[in-house]
Amino acid sequence: MNGHMREFDYIIVGGGLAAASAVDGIREVDVDGSIALLSDESDPPYHRPPLSKEYLQTAEAPRDLLFVKPAGWFDDQPGLEFFAGTRVDRLDARQLVVTTESGVSFHGSRILLATGGRARSLAIPGAGLAGVHTLRTAADAERIRAEARRAERVALVGAGFIGMELASTLKKMEVDSVVLDVTNRVWAGVLPEAVSGFIQRYFEDRGIRFLLGSPVSALEGAGRVARVVLEDGDEIGADMVVIGVGLQPNDQLAAEAGLAVRDGIIVDSHCETTAGHIYAAGDVARFPDSVLGELVRTEHWDHARAHGRTAGRNMAGEREPYDHVSYFFSHVFDLSLSVLGRTAEAEQTIVAGELGSGRSVVYCATEGRLSGTLLINANDAMDACRDLVRERPLIDDLVERLGDEVGSALLTERT
């Protein structure tokens, strides 16, 4: 080992919520082990959900409002060294060594890859024009906030979480926007068809325009974006564009080291990769779903928190399987949405309550069994719905159990 080698019991590569939660998990089991936390961002770990909502719309909001821990926490912890602005570009899986761009190497008994992901862009002409943004970091949110206040026409490419949340937030900032998507419904990756239609109408009633079912083929402008060109030839004027078309997992470090990857780093139920003593957690990890029994990759705040903690505990010597049923959540206009399990491709949907009435729970079924639930202004039902998703009852049995709660339910079937 050369003179640039640093020795630690635990090395965490990444600076997001999963990384911070792993520190907590390690300390729950091992209070004395030395930990190196290497992040390529200049800030300590922070929460990302507010970037498209509260943080974006709050002028001059300080970044420390986003921090997972109080300001200075990572610098004050005994046995923990936080290396901000440090990019790791090489992993030696055999020697358990990571090396930074500056040539400094770190050896650890256990290594966690919590490298998260980066916002996907579009491989189309004009994607690099000024005024074209993606949203993943606090700096991204700050740039969008500054430009949005001067913008007259904003185009949001992608009707998923980023596009829909930005449409709601920008409207509150008195900025009009149009949402475009290649699919023919909003939140297609999360919502069942009946609820997707309701959400679109809810947004349209509040002044949001949608252009669905036509891909974007180009962005045009003289140095700065001025219009969006659709594949069908239509053009939309825009002096600002935000592309929200998903996340690309940062799994290249693992792939180059010979670890198994498949749109994410493959791990077992204990968060361990195919290389011994190397773990992965959060957005970048593809893990065995304890309910559905298949490998999945999940981009949840709740999953990152729980998965990172389990990984940390297992790095420190525990052997705990990860069996947390995590949830998506979003706040748009006056709606609080929480999604548990699989809902987008539901063959049946049962609505307890009435969509738009203030509170409802949507039960989604596939092949006759409950596959997921969607809560609208019904966070009080979270624990009960999590238990149901884990149980996966027959939908007919569930309807009978719910009784009067679904007496006026909307029952739909996909054709």
DSSP 180-198: EESSSSTTTTTS-HHHHHH
Q: How far apart are CA 268 and CA 252, in angstroms?
A: 19
- Amino acid, res. 344: A
Q: Is residue 366 part of a domain?
A: yes
Q: How far apart are CA 165 and CA 49, in angstroms?
A: 10
- What is the domain range of residue 200? 121-243
With beta carbons less than 8 A apart as the criterion, state whether 111 and 279 touch: yes
Q: How does strand 247-249 pair with strand 117-119?
A: antiparallel
With beta carbons less than 8 A apart as the criterion, state whether 370 and 212 touch: no
Give CA torsion, residues 121, 301, 47, 176, to 10 deg. 50
Q: Is residue 60 part of a domain?
A: no
Which single residue is written with the structure tokens 């670890």? 259
Residue among 298, 292, 293 nearest 280 (CA): 298
Residue among 383, 280, 373 nearest 328 (CA): 373
Helix (H), strand (E) at residue 171: helix 161-172
Q: Which of 287, 315, 343 is the last residue of a domain?
A: 315
Residues 359 and 308 in one domain: no
Q: How far apart are CA 393 and CA 341, in angstroms?
A: 13
Q: Is residue 325 part of a domain?
A: no
Residue among 204, 195, 200 nearest 360 (CA): 195
With beta carbons less than 8 A apart as the criterion, state whether 178 and 163 touch: no
Residues 306 and 210 in one domain: no
| Residue 402 CA neighbour count, 13 Å, CB half | 24
Residue among 254, 260, 267 nearest 322 (CA): 267
3-state secondary structure at position 363: strand
Residues 251 and 195 in one domain: no
Q: Which of the 8 DSSP states describes residue 52?
A: G
Residues 105 and 145 in one domain: no
Q: How far apart are CA 59 and CA 347, in angstroms?
A: 44
Residue among 38, 112, 118, 24 nearest 68 (CA): 24
| DSSP codes, 189-245 | TTS-HHHHHHHHHHHHTTT-EEEES--EEEEE-SSB--EEEETTS-EEE-SEEEE--
Q: Is residue 62 part of a domain?
A: no
Q: Which of 206, 226, 243 is the last residue of a domain?
A: 243
Q: How far apart are CA 175 and CA 208, in angstroms?
A: 10
Q: Which of the 8 DSSP states describes residue 50?
A: G
3-state secondary structure at position 311: helix
Q: Which of 186, 221, 243 is the last residue of a domain?
A: 243
* C-alpha torsion sign, points 280, 283, 288, 294: negative
Residues 99 and 127 in one domain: no
Q: Is residue 56 part of a domain?
A: no
With beta carbons less than 8 A apart as the criterion, state whether 202 and 355 touch: no
The token pair at 290 is 């304890």
Q: How far apart are CA 324 and CA 300, in angstroms?
A: 12
- Which CATH number characterizes residue 113's domain? 3.50.50.60
3-state secondary structure at position 218: strand
Residues 298 and 280 in one domain: yes
Instruction: Give the pLDDT of residue 1.
Output: 39
Residues 257 and 150 in one domain: no
Give CA torsion, residues 415, 183, 296, 95, to 10 deg. 160
Residues 236 and 130 in one domain: yes
Q: Is residue 130 part of a domain?
A: yes
Residues 222 and 177 in one domain: yes
3-state secondary structure at position 281: coil
To the nearest 10 degrees (0 to 180), the angle between helices 161-172 and 193-204 is 20
Q: Where are the alpha helices (DSSP H) in 209-361?
A: 252-256, 301-315
Instruction: Give the pLDDT of residue 273.
Output: 98
pTM for the full model? 0.93
10-residue block means of pLDDT along the chain (415 residues)? 78 98 98 97 96 91 94 95 97 98 96 97 95 96 94 95 96 94 94 93 96 95 96 94 96 98 98 98 95 87 97 98 92 95 92 85 94 94 94 92 63 46
Helix (H), strand (E) at residue 235: strand 235-237
Q: Is residue 251 part of a domain?
A: yes
- Which CATH number characterizes residue 357's domain? 3.30.390.30
Tally of domains in the chain: 3
Q: Is residue 172 part of a domain?
A: yes
Residues 125 and 239 in one domain: yes
Q: How far apart are CA 179 and CA 334, in angstroms?
A: 19
Q: Which of the 8 DSSP states describes residue 360?
A: E
Residues 209 and 275 in one domain: no
Residues 143 and 234 in one domain: yes
3-state secondary structure at position 54: helix
3-state secondary structure at position 272: strand
